[in-house]
Each structure stands twice: as C-alpha cells, then as structure tokens.
Amino acid sequence: MERGDKREAVVDAMLEVVAEYGFHGAPMSLVAERANVGAGTIYRYFEDKDAVIASCYQSIEERCHAAIRERYPEGRPVRERFLHVATVVARHFREAPRDLRFLQQFHDSPYGADVRREKMFGQGDKDLVRELFEEGRTQQILKDLPLPVLFALSFGPLVHICRDHAVGFLELDDRLVEQTVEACWDALKR
Amino acid sequence: MERGDKREAVVDAMLEVVAEYGFHGAPMSLVAERANVGAGTIYRYFEDKDAVIASCYQSIEERCHAAIRERYPEGRPVRERFLHVATVVARHFREAPRDLRFLQQFHDSPYGADVRREKMFGQGDKDLVRELFEEGRTQQILKDLPLPVLFALSFGPLVHICRDHAVGFLELDDRLVEQTVEACWDALKR
Amino acid sequence: MERGDKREAVVDAMLEVVAEYGFHGAPMSLVAERANVGAGTIYRYFEDKDAVIASCYQSIEERCHAAIRERYPEGRPVRERFLHVATVVARHFREAPRDLRFLQQFHDSPYGADVRREKMFGQGDKDLVRELFEEGRTQQILKDLPLPVLFALSFGPLVHICRDHAVGFLELDDRLVEQTVEACWDALKR
Amino acid sequence: MERGDKREAVVDAMLEVVAEYGFHGAPMSLVAERANVGAGTIYRYFEDKDAVIASCYQSIEERCHAAIRERYPEGRPVRERFLHVATVVARHFREAPRDLRFLQQFHDSPYGADVRREKMFGQGDKDLVRELFEEGRTQQILKDLPLPVLFALSFGPLVHICRDHAVGFLELDDRLVEQTVEACWDALKR
DNA sequence: AATGAATGAGACTTCATTCAT
DNA sequence: CATGAATGAAGTCTCATTCAT
C-alpha cells in the first residue's frame, strides 16, 4: 500500500459506513476495520472523527466539481450550460448513491454546520453556477427570483430523484434524467 | 399535568433537541430534562429512544397533513388544488422550522428507513396528492412523468427554500412563496 | 448504602489505588471496582478523573486539619504550640500512610499544580501555623528566617520520617516522634 | 552525532519532559521528538520506557554525587564535612530545578520503588554521608538518633527549600542556603 | 543502525435503559 | 405512576512498542 492510500482508505470507509448506517452506526472501530487499518492509524491522518467526516464531504464535493467542469460548454447559451450542469449532476449522483446518501446525512446534521454556508456544490461550482444563473436572470431568460430560489428549483428535484433512484422508487435512466432536467428548465425560464 | 401531557412533552422535547443539536447531542437525559420528566418516565410511554423519534415524525406528519386538509379545494381544478397544497406546505414549514429541521435529519438517516417507503408527507396526504397528480397526468394537464418525479419537482424546491429561509439565506415572504409555487407549476405542467 | 456513601467510596478507592500504584495504575475502571460502583457512577459525582483526585486531596487535607485543631493549645507559648502541631502531624501520617503516599505523589505532580500555591497543610492550618511562626519570629524565639524556610525545617523532616516508617526503614514510635520533633525545634529556635 | 550521544539525548529529553509535564504528558513520541531521534531508536538503547526513566534517575544521582565529591573536605571535622555536603546539595538543586522536579515525581512514584531502598542520594553518597553521620553520632557530636532520622533532619528541609525556590516561593541566595544549613546543623547536633 | 508509520490494548467518558424507592 | 441513581456496554482517542524500509 502506497503512501496516502491509507488516508484515502479511511475516507472511503467512513463514507461507506455513514452512507449505509448513518452517523450512528459509524464507530471509528468499524471504519478502521473497513479501511483495513488499525484503529489508531486513523489518528495519524486526522485530528479526530469530525475531521474524517469533513474530508468525506470535501472528497464528494471535488468529485462533483470535476464532473461539472468536464466538458463544460463554456461560452454557450445559458440554457445549454444549465442542461449540462443539471444533467451531469443528476447522472453523477445516480452513479454514486453513496456520495448522495452521505451528503444528505451530512448536510443538515450539525456536522455540516460549517459548510452549510457554502451552497449545494461547494465554492468553485457555486461560483460557476451562480454566474450562470445571474447571467440568465440579467438577460431575462430566467425568472426574476432570488438565487437561492433558482438553486432550489434546479437542484432540489434532481437530488430528490437521485435518492428515489437509489432507494428503488424509480428507474432513473438517461431519458428520464433528460426529461426531469427539461422540467427544471421550465421552472426556471421565463 | 394530565394524562398524555407527559407523552406529548417528551415528543416535543425530543423534536426540539434533535432539531437543535442533531441525533447526536440528543441524549435521553436532556430530553427528559426539557420535558420536565424523570428519565425513567419516558420508558412508560415509549419502548425506547427510536420509538420517541418515530413519534416525533408522526407528529410532524400529522401537523402537515392537517394543514393541507384545511380548506382543501376539493373538486376544484388540478392547478388550483396543486397551488393550495404547495403554498400550504411551504408556509407551514416556514412557520415551523423545527419540524423542518427534524424532518431533514430524520428523513435520510437510518431512523427514517422504515418510513421512507411512504413518500414525502406521509400516507394520508400522499394519497391525496398522488390522486391529484394522477388525475392531472391523465387529463394531460401535467407532464407524463413518473409520480416520484412529479413529487420531486414540486416538493424538492419547496423544502429547499424553507430551509434557506430557516438558515437565513432567504427572506421567504408570501409573495416569494407564491412565485416559487408558480415556478413549480411550470415544471409540472405540459 | 446511604446517600453520599458512593461518593466517599470513590474517593477512598482512588486514594487507595493511587497510593498503591501511582497515578499510573489508577484507571477509572479499577477505582470503580474497588469502590464497588459502576464505572459510569463515578461521573454522577465527579466531573472527571481530575475532580476525583482533587477530592482525595481535600479529604486528606481536612483530616490533617482536624487533627491539628483537636486539643490545639490555643494561647499557650510558641514552643508548646509547635510541639503540638509537629507531633500531631507526624503521628497522623504515621497512622495514615495511604494519605501520605497519595500526598507525595500528588504534591509535585501536575495534578497538584493548582494546590501547590497553598502550603503544605492547606489554607486553614497554614494560617494557624503561619501565625505561630510569625509570632515566634517576632518574639525572637525563632530564627529570623523566611516563613517557607521555617516550614521546611519543621515539616520536611517529619514527612520524611513518616515515609521512612511507612516503607519500613524506621520504627517510628512515640518516643522517636518526640525526639525528632524536639530536633526540629532546635532547628527553629534561636 | 557520536555514539552514545543519542542515548544521552533521550535521557535528557525524558528528564525535561517529565519535569515539565509529569509522567503523564511524557509520551515516548514527545521524548523522541525533543531528543531529535526516531521513536523506534529509543528502543535500541533502552528496554522500555521504565528503563529510560530509571536512567534519568541514575543520571541525576551521578551529578549530585559528583557535586558532593568535588572538594569534599576529607578528614576534616564532622561539622565541616556536613556543612560542605548540605551546602553543595542545596546549591546543586537550586541550580538544577529540572533534576529536582524529576526526582520528586520519581521518588514516591511506583517508578522509584526499586530505588527507594537506597536512601536519598544514591549508593555512593549515601555511604559517604552515612559514614559522616555514624562518626558524628559515635563521637557524640550528633544526637543519638537513627540514621534515617538524621538524614531526614538534614535533607528534608534542603529539598524543601529548593522546591520553594524553583516554584518561586522563596529567593534562595547563598546567604539563605548558609543559614538553612546552619539550622539543619542545629537540629542534628547535641 | 535509524526511522517513523502502523498497531491495538486500554484509558477516559457518555448515555440508553433499568429498577428500587 | 413517577423518579433518578445506578449501571456497563460501547464510543473516541492515546500511546508504548514493533517492524519493514
């Protein structure tokens, strides 16, 4: 095992265990076990449990960030850019239900208190998407609503259907993603 | 204190404490204290901690249920009925941020696992709203999307903005509720 | 077991265990066991381990204090009062080797840091003995030395021989106590 | 760094850390760090932690021993020899408060159990001082008291004032050392 | 020989639950 | 019925020691 692998293994294990059992049912001992690491080892890489959890969040955020950036249609119309972001986010969390489950547990728990200031998808993306929304609003393509409302109209439903997919309520294929994203656009556009 | 008052006091206290500190930071001793009840007394009314938490959920659900039923425009057009439900739900959680916060912590935690089968607002309402959506879909007023997607498009954003309001991101007045609800309708309608 | 007995049992157990094995070798689990008390019970009476240890100190201090006060020859000459105090202290710790051992471990450990400001036998007695020494110095009965030195000349040797007794180096009978106390007096007097 | 330097560095570091933070607060990792040595390296030179601590004691003992031997007035009268020893010891620990602090923590802790059989300043000196006291007693210059008591009357106060000095209770200049040593002599002499 | 990452036993402490009063 | 003191299992974290490099 190479340097840094253990750190990553711990983060992954925590992510997995929290997604599965919640912050309850995520004792450090279990995390250590799943990471194939001694219990004490965790504390060489992290200050305490909270730090591991915070790292899980960062890790998720980065993955989402990366997905959005990839093939982002810079300079293209607002509508096209929105469709990209929304589609990518939905697909991303459809493929990574663990990330989604962790995120939801994290977000409104006291653990997430520090990060809650930052909107849904972290700093970098937020700026990107915020830019997108502000531009759309200025050009009178989008409804004249506060940014948080625009965020809510876009990502509220997407996260929702990804969860429904993860739980088995819904078979979320690409066609359905597309349709839902279009519906979100209907909510946003003038 | 009359019979049943203690039970209610316990549920309220748990709701309060969980909303404030999360499932962590909600020891039975603190709940007992806030309920002005002996720690042992709780166990005369509830099997265990999980049962208290489940009762909190039920309690929230009932309040939301009641709000929707009140002045529900039975027999009126789909659009009108939707606007009623959506507006009432948004206002309700705007006024009861504690309920909202509990709900969010509960919903995707393992505690909520049993209830997750039942959609957003519990059995009774679900049927009501489900009916509404099915009818709208049949009449080709609403998009031809699976029910969970219709739910997501409606309540995903609403819950989202209520939280933003609770956290202070947003000043959610009646005008804004109305606008958001209209936007949700745009997402739903053909 | 009556109210308060558990608290006392815990203090006694800690005193015993620390005297025997040092602050190392004094895990809360062992203390609980010796006190015939559940591990968690300790924390109903004490904030944490340090608080238990602090209580041990107080307890010892009080016993010593009481011994000195008992039949204290108030108003009698300096010499007589000194002989009383010194004799009583020596006998006291001869009879309570556990107290002595704890005290020595405590005194110069970081645990005792807070209390170190207060001289050897705590506030009340310190004042009593300080008074005695100051009076003796003023009346030119005692050497003109700083108070801490007078304390050192008196109690340094006494504590020393009590430990030697406890360890078995010395058979400390009343005769020997008397002789040692007289020798201390020789060190103090002009 | 030459051979043996590491060993010494470890002993010094342990001495320092224990003096400062007590046996608690003296993890091997911190000792290794202060010694500029890998944690594992310590175990090339010492069996275990206890062995390091024992070496600290030996080291202190040797320094004290050396101080006493230096310019020891061999063959001179008992009184003169006593004054030398007592003065040297007091000055030594005044100058080496770390040694004193370690010694006090060590002496009555279980760590010191093995060494406790050997009186105050270790084997070599003990013999020297024992000889001195026995001679003085035989010649009826000193009081007819057991050796441990003579030790107590001499070194009990001295150690005491050195600590008071270290803690800041007392400004222990050479004049005061001299006076205290004289007072000790008063306690010893017939 | 030296290192320091890794280990896991064990320390302190919390808290859901029980039961004598 | 109500209480809250008591319990002990379980959680988080530390640290003496080992061993592959």
Write out pLDDT tens, residues B61-81.
999 999 999 999 999 999 999
In this predicted structure, the answer to whether residue D68 has a pLDDT above a threshold of 50 is yes
Q: For chain A, what percent of residues have pLDDT higher than 90?
A: 82
Position C57, amino acid: Y
Using pLDDT thresholds of 50, 70 and 90, give the confidence band for residue B122: very low
Per-residue pLDDT averaged across A109-114, rounded? 79
**Does residue D7 lie within 7 Å of nucleic acid chain E, judged by its CB?**
no
Q: Chains D/C: 3 or more C-beta pairs closer than 8 A?
A: yes
pLDDT at D122: 44
Residues of D in contact with C108 (CB under 8 A): 101, 104-105, 163
Question: CA-to-C1' distance for B72 and F18, Å?
Answer: 72
Identify which of B160-169, C6-15, D164-173 has the greatest average pLDDT: C6-15
A14 to chain B, minimum CA–CA distance in Å?
A: 15
Using pLDDT thresholds of 50, 70 and 90, give the confidence band for residue A121: very low
Using pLDDT thresholds of 50, 70 and 90, give the confidence band for residue D109: confident
Which distant-in-sequence residues (6+ apart) come within 8 Å of B104 by Cβ? A107, A108, B159, B163
**Does residue A33 lie within 7 Å of nucleic acid chain F, judged by its CB?**
no
Helix (H, G, I), strand (E, B) or coil at B187: helix
Sign, CA dihedral D121-D127-D128-D132, equals positive
In this predicted structure, the answer to whether residue A79 has a pLDDT above a threshold of 60 is yes
In contact, A158 and A82? CB cutoff 8 Å: no
Distance CA C187, CA D187 (A): 5
Question: What value does the mean pLDDT of chain D take?
Answer: 92
Per-residue pLDDT averaged across D104-118, rounded? 78
Using pLDDT thresholds of 50, 70 and 90, give the confidence band for residue D4: confident
**Closest CB to D109 among C105, C111, C149:** C105
Q: Phi, psi (5° rounding) for residue D171?
A: -100, 105
Residues 44-63 of A with CB under 7 A from strand E: 44-45
Give one word for A38, left, alpha or beta, with left for phi > 0 and alpha for psi -120 to 50: beta
In this predicted structure, the answer to whether residue D172 has a pLDDT above a threshold of 80 is yes
In this predicted structure, the answer to whether residue D50 has a pLDDT above a threshold of 90 is yes
**Does residue D23 lie within 7 Å of nucleic acid chain F, judged by its CB?**
no
From residue D181, give the alpha-carbon distance in Å to each of D138, D161, D188. 22, 11, 11
D134 to chain C, minimum CA–CA distance in Å?
A: 16
**Closest CB to A110 among B25, B180, B184:** B25
Kindly state the DSSP code that residue C70 receives in the 8-state scheme: T
Count how many Cα atoms sit within 13 Å of the Cα of residue D88 in the half-sphere of its side chain: 20
Using pLDDT thresholds of 50, 70 and 90, give the confidence band for residue D121: very low
* Selected residue with higher pLDDT from D167 and A124: D167
pLDDT at C138: 96
In contact, A15 and A60? CB cutoff 8 Å: yes
Q: What is the pTM of this model?
A: 0.90
Tokens of B125: 């309402």
**Does residue B37 lie within 7 Å of nucleic acid chain E, judged by its CB?**
no
Which nucleotide's C1' atom has the smallest distance to the CA of C3? F5
Which distant-in-sequence residues (6+ apart) come within 8 Å of D60 by Cβ? D15, D99, D102, D103
Average the pLDDT over each of A74-78, B123-127, C169-173, D95-99 and give the range with the smallest value: B123-127
> C118-156 in b/e burial notation, b at 16+ Cβ within 10 A?
ebbbbebbbebbeebbeebbeeeebbebbbbbbbbbbbb
User: C interface mutation test: which of D102, D108, D150, D158 has the most C CBs within 10 A?
Assistant: D108
B4 to chain A, minimum CA–CA distance in Å?
A: 30
In this predicted structure, the answer to whether residue D53 has a pLDDT above a threshold of 80 is yes
Which nucleotide's C1' atom has the smallest distance to the CA of C23? E11
Chains contacting C (3 or more CB pairs within 8 Å): D
User: D interface mutation test: which of C16, C109, C120 has the most D CBs within 10 A?
Assistant: C109
**Closest CB to A22 among B109, B143, B149:** B109
Q: Chains A/D: 3 or more C-beta pairs closer than 8 A?
A: no
In this predicted structure, the answer to whether residue D95 has a pLDDT above a threshold of 70 is yes
Cα angle for residues C108, C112, C118 (degrees, 5° grid): 100
pLDDT at B120: 44
**Among candidates A1, A19, A184, which has minimal Cα distance to A87?**
A184
Q: Pick the residue from chain D with its C-alpha nearest to C176.
A: D145
**Closest CB to C183 among D104, D160, D187:** D187
Average the pLDDT over each of A167-181, C100-114, D117-131 and give the range with the smallest value: D117-131
**Does residue B51 lie within 7 Å of nucleic acid chain E, judged by its CB?**
no
Question: CA-to-C1' distance for D129 and F1, Å?
Answer: 76
Which distant-in-sequence residues (6+ apart) come within 8 Å of A188 by Cβ? A82, A136, A142, A143, A150, A153, A154, B183
Domains defined along chain D, listed by start: 1-46 (1.10.10.60), 57-188 (1.10.357.10)
Give A24-45 pLDDT, tens digit per residue: 899 999 999 999 999 999 999 9
Distance CA C105, CA B92 (A): 63
In contact, C161 and C184? CB cutoff 8 Å: no
pLDDT at D120: 44
CB contact under 8 A, A183 and B179: no
Distance CA B166, CA A113 (A): 13
Which distant-in-sequence residues (6+ apart) come within 8 Å of B36 by Cβ? B9
pLDDT at B143: 98
Q: In degrees to the nearest 10, what's the CA dihedral of D118, D122, D124, D126? A: -70
Average the pLDDT over each of A174-188, B85-99, B105-119, D81-95 and give the range with the smallest value: B105-119
Chains contacting D (3 or more CB pairs within 8 Å): C
* Selected residue with higher pLDDT from C133 and D122: C133
pLDDT at A67: 95
Query: According to DSSP H, which parts of chain A are helical?
Result: 5-21, 28-34, 42-45, 49-69, 78-95, 97-107, 122-138, 147-167, 174-188
Nucleotides of F under 7 A from a protein CB: 1-20
Local confidence pLDDT in tens for the 190 residues of chain C: 556 799 999 999 999 999 999 998 999 999 999 999 999 999 999 999 999 999 999 999 999 999 999 999 999 999 999 999 999 999 999 999 999 999 999 988 888 877 766 554 445 566 889 999 999 999 999 999 999 999 999 999 999 999 999 988 899 999 999 999 999 999 999 9
Question: CA-to-C1' distance for D15 and E1, Å?
Answer: 25
pLDDT at C122: 45
In this predicted structure, the answer to whether residue B98 has a pLDDT above a threshold of 60 is yes
In this predicted structure, the answer to whether residue D123 has a pLDDT above a threshold of 60 is no
Sign, CA dihedral B36-B42-B44-B45, equals positive
Sign, CA dihedral D3-D26-C97-C158, equals positive
CB contact under 8 A, A183 and B145: yes
CB contact under 8 A, D24 and C110: yes
In contact, A184 and A86? CB cutoff 8 Å: yes
**Does residue A120 lie within 7 Å of nucleic acid chain F, judged by its CB?**
no
pLDDT at C1: 56
Position C168, amino acid: G
Residues of B in contact with A163 (CB under 8 A): 108
In this predicted structure, the answer to whether residue D98 has a pLDDT above a threshold of 90 is yes
pLDDT at D111: 82
Chains contacting B (3 or more CB pairs within 8 Å): A
Per-residue pLDDT averaged across D18-24, rounded? 92
In contact, A169 and A162? CB cutoff 8 Å: no
Q: Pick the residue from chain C with its C-alpha nearest to D120.
A: C160
Give, rounded to a whole angstrom, the gap between the first and last alpha carbons of chain B.
Answer: 54
